[in-house]
Amino acid sequence: MAVRCLLSHSPVIDDRKVHCFVDSGSSFNAISPNLAEKLNLTVEVRSKPLTVNLGNDQQVTIPRRVASVDLVMDGFPAYHTSVYVMPIPEGKDVLLG
């Protein structure tokens, strides 16, 4: 049996503290459209939509929009990652999967 964990953290992106959660059941990273706009990120829109399976056995299809960020979290080395731009649950800015 798998145990799914949600860990809330406040990493830094472009010198801005953001609200994030780590979801052990997620297979991707994501950032909210609002934060992507505030950070003035370049967002690439891909032609094929993204289908996401949610924890409540619900499936949603959203436009596939991708950006790149440098993420800094206390106790971890900084790293560069690609993120989907999409609404994030729980009012958070970032989802790390």
Q: Give 14-51 pLDDT, tens digit per residue.
A: 777 778 888 877 888 899 999 999 889 999 999 999 89
Please state, for a pLDDT cut of 70, what percent of the chain lies above it: 88
Residues 6+ apart with CB under 8 A from 20: 8, 9, 10, 11, 92, 93, 94, 95, 96
Domain membership of residue 37 (yes or no) is yes
What confidence score (pLDDT) does residue 49 get? Answer: 92
Domain membership of residue 51 (yes or no) is yes
Domain membership of residue 5 (yes or no) is no
Residues 6+ apart with CB under 8 A from 42: 67, 68
Domain membership of residue 2 (yes or no) is no
What confidence score (pLDDT) does residue 5 get? Answer: 42
Domain membership of residue 50 (yes or no) is yes
Among 1-5, 40-44, 63-67, 92-96, the least confident range: 1-5
Range of the domain at 67: 30-96
Q: What's the domain count of the chain?
A: 1
Domain membership of residue 25 (yes or no) is no
What confidence score (pLDDT) does residue 4 get? Answer: 40
Domain membership of residue 44 (yes or no) is yes
Domain membership of residue 46 (yes or no) is yes
